[in-house]
Each structure stands twice: as structure tokens, then as C-alpha cells.
Amino acid sequence: MDCTTTLVILILTNLVFLFGASSSNNHGYHGFLECIIHEFQLSNSATDIIYTPQNATYSYLLLAQNLRTGFTSPEKPDLIVTPFHASEIQAAVRCSRILGLQIRVKSGGHDYEGLSYASESAPFLIVDMRNFRSVTVDVKAKTARVEVGATLGQLYHTISLKSRTLALPAGACPTVGVGGHFTGGGYGMISRKHGLALDHIVDAKVINADGEILDRKSMGEDLFWAIRGGGGTSFGIVLEFTVTLVSIPETVTVFNVTRTLEENATELVHKWQYIANKVDENLLIRLFIAPAHSPETGNRTIMALFVTLYLGGTRDLLAIMEEQFPELGLSKSDCIEMSWVESALFFARIENRTVDVLLDRTPEGGFGSAYFKGKSDYVSSPIPVSGLREIWNFLLEEEGHSLQFSPYGGVMNSLSDEETPFPHRKGNIFMIHYGAIWSNESESQAHLDGIRRLYGFMARYVTRNPRAAYFNYKDLDIGRNNEVGNTSYDQASVWGHKYFKNNFKRLVCVKTKFDPTNFFRNEQSIPPLVSYNEDGLHKPY
């Protein structure tokens, strides 16, 4: 059955519901609570999981990693729901449909543009998954079952308690929530050897727009394909994942080596581009580039930080580096051997703490401590020295901007672009992350303008047709349109093809099949092939 045929059938089955739902506009606390208690037979204890702006806990629950949302005039949620049981989420979904409320789903609060906890369209509520954080590891089967409210740090910590030789490839920030990270990608320090987190998902539980709980068998392979890289919140509320774990050595080796312009940083970065995606797949050398003050002269310079993990010991690492990248001048004293879980602290720059700190949901400095804007690119041909020097000039002229180069290659070349919605596999040398961070709101426009100028300049050095972007680094500058639910297919396809390339069309078909009324939506969610107005009528895109 093709996408259009499925669409016709689903329109007929959903119009009756839409006409009924549109008659209600009572979206306050009492209407929602009454619906949950009386319509879905939940006890009065439901009042313990629902928060309004009048509750003292509301502001705490609304805290997120980034003080800046991607919206000019962000709205706050009417309600925040913190469920403990799947039945409470099912009730929230059904009552939201009846009362005409949008739903945003929050796990870790690291959403780049705040789409998980803010909106420019009201009314809406947040389903905060912080209480869904169980992690169960089966060492014999080499699998883990992890609920979406768990953080990466908690997941890593739990795995390490069971085994020193099992791991999961995923990100380096321990306070990131599993939910958004897994459904959008999940790049990490062992990805050249073992791929992305999404490549290891073998089952999942999802609540759909009808409030039903589906696993892989009952949802089918189309929806299961979509939530592994296409973003889970476009299709439902993911409850948990089952992932396969990978085997690693008991000892890994790490190093952080810094070079400035006075120490040939430009030439080293240039050479790095030719070897980073080709070296032994057990080795991942990440680059962080930012302005700094020279320790020798005190003048502003560019600092290139080579951050590395090698799945093995120092001796073998030094041999590889001497053969592939002797210009860096790596020595034995630069290298530190440790366990994989200890490396999670190393890359998070957490010092003098035990691995138990990975259980902390609050990042160093606390939630909401700074304003932030991120963007991304992919590079398939090395940037020339002249281009690198111009980039350095951009960074030196403006405070607060930095670059991160994350190498690809290795196993990332072994999967086709269509294997999952995540299409950025073969042919990429590295991914660029652009970051701007500042502390005063009055500086926001200057920093936003600066990072956009840098992004514009970089167009000549990155992929094109489309100029690709990483979905987990959401960027509302791409195909900007803040009218939730009114985004046309043509508008959505601008960012859709940057994030997903040709997989965007299949994602739209899956969305049309499983959520044709576009109940689960945000400013960059996958659209269905139709849109609905208040009377329940539809129009094809």
C-alpha cells in the first residue's frame, strides 16, 4: 500500500474524532484533571503529578540546560505532567486530544532550541519523563533496557556495575537524556568502531496518538525504522529502548593535547583532516577549536584541543600515532589508561570525582546557567589552510564562539544512508558543530548574528545539495517557520532534506500513516501529507 492510499483511508477514520475533539476548548488544570480522573479511571493521586504555574515546583521542572529558546516570544506550558506509570501518559495523550492541547516531551532538557519545553503556540503541556529512568542490563545477552528519562551518565554507570568490558556508543555529555539522544542519532567517542546509539536499538515501546502502547512487533518495521534517527516525538511518546551492547577492552587510553597557532595548530588541523576518518577504527580523535590567550605571549590566539579515545593500551596507540600523525608529537606522558566508564568523566571534564557523579542529572554549573546557540555542518573535502586561517579570524574577532570537529569513517562507512533515517554515513570526513555561549541576555543578538555570519562563510567548505545538518543539533534558522501545525510540506522539506536527505520522504509517509492528524508536532517535527483546520477539514500539501 503506497503513502497516498494509506492517507485516504486514515483521513476517513480520523475525521469523526477530529469533529468531536474540536468542540472543546477547555484546556485548564481542572478540565484536564477531571478528564484524567473520570474519563480514564485514574485515582485522585493524579493531582500529585500535574503542576501549574501556581505550583512552587513548576519553575524547577521547567529548568533546562539552555536559557535561550529558539522563539521570539516563547510561551510557557499550561501544565507539566511528571508521570510514573505508562497509564498516566496514555491518559495525558487522550485527554490532550479531547481538550485540544499540544504535547511536548522532555527527558534531559538539552534540546538545542527548546522544542521539548517551549513553544510559540499555546496551549500546550509538557510530559516530563524524569521518572522513567530505569536501566536493566543483561550481561549474558549483551543487551540493556533503558527508559527514556534516564541520562547517558546513569546508563553508563549501570552498565559499568555489571561489566568492565561492555559499553554503548553514545554521547560524551552525561546529563543528556536518552530519549532525544537515541531517537536523533547518538554520536560518541567509540562511534568510529561501533556506530551510533540508534544503530544498536533492537526494540522500543511507544505510545501512539490513540494512547496505545506499541512494541517493535505491534508497531511494525516502518515506525520502528522512523524512531531510530527520525526523532521520536514526531510519531509518539517513546517509553523505553532495548539496545545491544558492544564489547570493549578493560583498558582504554585517552589524551587531551593542546596546540596553539604558535605551535603550528593550523598545519596540525589541516593534516588531521586527511587522517581522522582513515586511521584505525579503534581510534577517535576529536577536535575542539576556540580562541584563547597564548601562555607564552598573553595575546589572543587559537587553541586546537585534540581529544582522543583509543580502545586499547598506550603502547599500541603510540605506534599508530607515530605512523599516521607524527606531527602531533604525542608522547607517553600525554596518555592516560583507564576504564571506559572512567573515560566518561574524562571527556565530560569532571575531575576529582568518583564515577557515581554520573548519576547526577544536573550538569556542572547547574541548569539554565548560560545562553547557547548551536549549528552543524558536514565536510566531505578537506578545508584548505587559507580557509582555516579565515575561520580563525572569525573566532578571534568575536567572543564566545567555538568549533568542534567530530571524525567519521570506520564503521560509519559500512551502513547505507537508507538503513536508518540518519543519512550522514559514507563520504563524510567529519561533522562540524558551531557553538556560541554567553551569560547576559543583552548580548544575545550579537552572538546570534556572529554565529550566523560564520555559518554563512562556511558554506563554501561544506556539503551542498543539500547542505546537511545533524538532527540532534536542531537549528530553527533552517527553513524558519514558527507556526506549529501550519508548516507546509515545501517549508518542512527545507530542513527535512538537510537533516534526513532522501529519507525525509519516507518519514513523511510514516507520519501520515501513524499520525495523520499531526497530533505530535513541534516547529521541526515531521509533517503528514495533509493539514487540518479547526473544523477538521484537510488539505493536501
Q: Which residues are catalytic?
A: 473
Bridge partners (DSSP) of residue 249 are none
Residue 346: CB atoms within 10 A of its CB come to 19
Q: Which three cell numbers stand for residue 15?
A: 475525521
| C-alpha–C-alpha distance, residues 161 and 341, integer Å | 10
Q: Which residue has 529512568 as its cell numbers? A: 133
| DSSP conformation class of 427 | T
| C-alpha–C-alpha distance, residues 90 and 106, integer Å | 16
- Scored b (16 or more CB within 10 A) or e, 80-119 reads bbbbeebebbbbbbbbbbbbebbbbbbbbbbbbbbbbbbb
| C-alpha–C-alpha distance, residues 309 and 254, integer Å | 5
Residue 250: CB atoms within 10 A of its CB come to 10
Whole-number CA gyration radius for the chain: 23
* CB proximity list for 494: less than 8 A, separation 6 or greater: 478, 479
Bridge partners (DSSP) of residue 252 are 338
Cα angle, residue 457 at apex, residues 455 and 460 outer, rounded to 5°: 105
Q: Which residue has 521518572 as its cell numbers? A: 131
Bridge partners (DSSP) of residue 377 are 432
Residue 76: CB atoms within 10 A of its CB come to 15
Residue 445: CB atoms within 10 A of its CB come to 9
| C-alpha–C-alpha distance, residues 155 and 344, integer Å | 11
| C-alpha–C-alpha distance, residues 327 and 325, integer Å | 5
Cα angle, residue 213 at apex, residues 208 and 216 outer, rounded to 5°: 95
CB 229 within 8 A of CB 185: yes
Dihedral in degrees, nearest 10, Cα atoms 155, 50, 211, 497: -60
| C-alpha–C-alpha distance, residues 96 and 24, integer Å | 11
Q: Which three cell numbers stand for residue 328?
A: 602531533
* Cα–Cα nearest to 229, from 509, 501, 531: 501
CB 354 within 8 A of CB 157: no
Between the alpha carbon of residue 180 and those of residues 230, 269, 469, the distances in Å are 10, 31, 16
**Is the link from the previous residue into 123 a cis peptide, with omega within 30 of 0?**
yes
